[in-house]
Amino acid sequence: MVKAGVGDLCLDYADLFFDIGVICLQTGDSSKAEQNFTEAFRVYNIIFADNPEALSEKKNLLLGYTVQAALGEKLN
């Protein structure tokens, strides 16, 4: 659950949407996954504007999940 008083421009908010996106990928709902990842990265781009390494880490993490999901679909 999101902490009370957490705004939409904090890391917890972005991480929540990222995690929901991962769950959507795992359940095969790529449309919902895309929506959640888009919201997460909207916030990550603001939060990590001065920290490109951290933003790159999030992008690489997303890449790993999407590759894993694509492989899973091919194996099914």
pTM of the shown model: 0.82
- pLDDT-derived band at 51 (thresholds 50, 70, 90) equals very high
Dump pLDDT digits (tens) for 23-32: 999 999 999 9
Alpha-carbon separation of residue 28 from 1, 10, 12, 45, 65 (angstroms): 23, 27, 24, 26, 12
Q: Which of 53, 2, 75 shows the shortest CA–CA distance to 18?
A: 2
> What per-residue confidence (pLDDT) applies to 75?
63
The three-state secondary structure class of 38 is: helix
Where is 27: in which H helix or E strand?
Answer: none
Confirm if 17 and 39 have CB atoms less than 8 A apart: yes
- Which residue is it, tokens 């908010």? 13
Q: Domain residue spans in the chain?
A: 11-75
Q: What is the pLDDT of residue 4?
A: 47
